[in-house]
């Protein structure tokens, strides 16, 4: 009897121990989730740290440090339309501690350009769009063309004489312009450049007579060196940088709807990405932190410097409204121009 009593006591003790361990384990897991982040984060920037996007990313990281209470290390992983940075997080754990800055062009046009070791649409997820690039067509202020239609009509009547450049051949602005040329049956020459700065030099040196504008080139409109002829944003909205220029700077600006191509309008935001499969609660905490950062004056100041507005609603609803439509537009343009065969297979 005494042995049986001891065995019963042992079973009770073991049961209490197991219950305590279970409760402790569950509590520990819950604590680990609620405690995110409990160590430093890393933000891989897909563009040069000293350039426009890199500078905004550097300030964003500093603001996030204050919000999250953990260091946010900035790492320059520039190159290949930010796919170097995105590829970095694609092979790291989906725990929210590794983030990367890129854009829609980083995940939509790059498969037509590079043989990537990861799937840009499945292995990584857009987390938050905190500001927006703009794009449109401009000419020198002393040029004879007052509207985009005038430029296109002249280009059509003078085969081979129209020459324009952009920040990159696979940027959306470049592709839209090429597509319009195809539709209009224009024989013109896109001039390659190594980025926006080089394209600007080509324009100011009159080696080209058209320029696909980007954020860093807005001062050329403000100081009267360039005339903005067409904005590639949504036809119902003013240009993204409108709040940074005078109304008269946009008096010649057409929309793609006025030009006859409303379906080509696009928005290309600057996006913080993370690894696909990151826990929803971690994802939400990061989204909330970046949303809060968009109200911080430090981030507002740096984006305003480049005539780029912050986005206060750049989370999942934003991507639901913009991502699929732009992906489909990219596929259509590539197919219509016969460039879908260029897609790189992994």
| pLDDT tens readout for residues 180-194 | 999 999 999 999 988
Q: Which CATH class is domain 136-264?
A: alpha beta
| Fold topology of 41-132+267-342 | D-Maltodextrin-Binding Protein; domain 2 (3.40.190)
User: CA 82 to CA 99: how far, in whole Å?
Assistant: 12
**What is the rounded radius of gyration, in angstroms, for the C-alpha atoms of the chain?**
25
Nearest partner of 43 among 87, 105, 82, 101, judged by Cα? 101
Q: What is the pLDDT of residues 110-168, one digit of tens each?
A: 999 899 999 999 999 999 999 999 999 999 999 999 999 999 999 999 999 999 999 88
88 within 8 A of 44, measured Cβ to Cβ: yes
E strand segments, 120-221: 124-133, 136-140, 163-165, 189-191, 210-213
Backbone φ, ψ for residue 228 (5° rounding)? -85, 115
136 within 8 A of 212, measured Cβ to Cβ: yes
pTM score, two decimals?
0.87
Q: For the chain, where do the domains classified as CATH 3.40.190.10 start and end?
A: 136-264
Q: Tokens 């009509």 appear where?
A: 153
What is the number of alpha carbons within 13 Å of residue 329 lying toward its C-beta?
Answer: 20
pLDDT tens sequence for the chain (346 residues): 445 555 555 444 344 433 443 444 433 333 345 799 999 999 999 999 988 999 999 999 999 999 999 999 999 999 899 999 999 999 999 999 999 999 999 999 999 989 999 999 999 999 999 999 999 999 999 999 999 999 999 999 999 999 999 988 889 999 999 999 999 999 999 999 888 889 999 999 999 999 999 888 999 999 999 999 999 999 888 999 999 999 999 999 999 999 999 999 999 999 999 999 999 999 999 999 999 999 999 999 999 999 999 999 999 999 999 999 999 999 999 999 998 766 655 4
């Amino acid at each position: 009897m005494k042995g049986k009593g001891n065995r019963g006591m042992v079973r009770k003790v073991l049961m209490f121990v197991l219950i305590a361990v279970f409760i402790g384990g569950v509590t520990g897991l819950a604590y680990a989730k609620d405690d995110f982040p409990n160590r430093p984060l890393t933000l891989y920037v897909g563009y040069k740290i000293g350039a426009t996007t890199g500078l905004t990313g550097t300030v964003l990281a500093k603001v996030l440090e204050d919000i999250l209470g953990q260091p946010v290390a900035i790492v320059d992983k520039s190159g290949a339309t930010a796919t170097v940075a995105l590829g970095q997080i694609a092979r790291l754990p989906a725990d929210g501690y590794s983030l990367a800055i890129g854009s829609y062009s980083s995940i939509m046009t790059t498969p037509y350009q590079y043989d990537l070791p990861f799937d840009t649409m499945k292995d990584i997820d857009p987390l938050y769009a905190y500001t927006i690039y703009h794009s449109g067509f401009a000419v020198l202020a002393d040029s004879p063309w007052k509207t985009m239609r005038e430029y296109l009509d002249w280009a059509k009547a003078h085969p081979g004489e129209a020459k324009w450049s952009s920040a990159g051949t696979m940027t959306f602005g470049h592709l839209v312009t090429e597509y319009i040329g195809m539709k209009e049956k224009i024989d013109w020459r896109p001039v390659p450049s190594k980025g926006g700065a080089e394209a600007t030099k080509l324009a100011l040196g009159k080696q080209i007579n058209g320029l696909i504008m980007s954020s860093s080139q807005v001062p050329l409109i403000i100081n009267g060196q360039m005339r903005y002829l067409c904005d590639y944003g949504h036809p119902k909205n003013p240009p993204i940088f409108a709040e940074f220029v005078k109304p008269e700077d946009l008096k010649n600006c057409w929309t793609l709807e006025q030009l006859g191509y409303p379906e080509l309008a696009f928005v290309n935001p600057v996006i913080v990405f993370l690894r696909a499969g990151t826990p929803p609660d971690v994802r939400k905490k990061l989204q909330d932190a970046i949303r809060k950062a968009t109200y911080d004056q430090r981030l507002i100041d740096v984006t305003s410097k480049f005539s780029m507005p912050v986005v206060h609603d750049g989370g999942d609803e934003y991507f639901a409204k913009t991502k699929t439509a732009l992906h489909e537009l990219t596929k259509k343009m590539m197919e219509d121009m016969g460039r879908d065969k260029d897609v790189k297979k992994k």
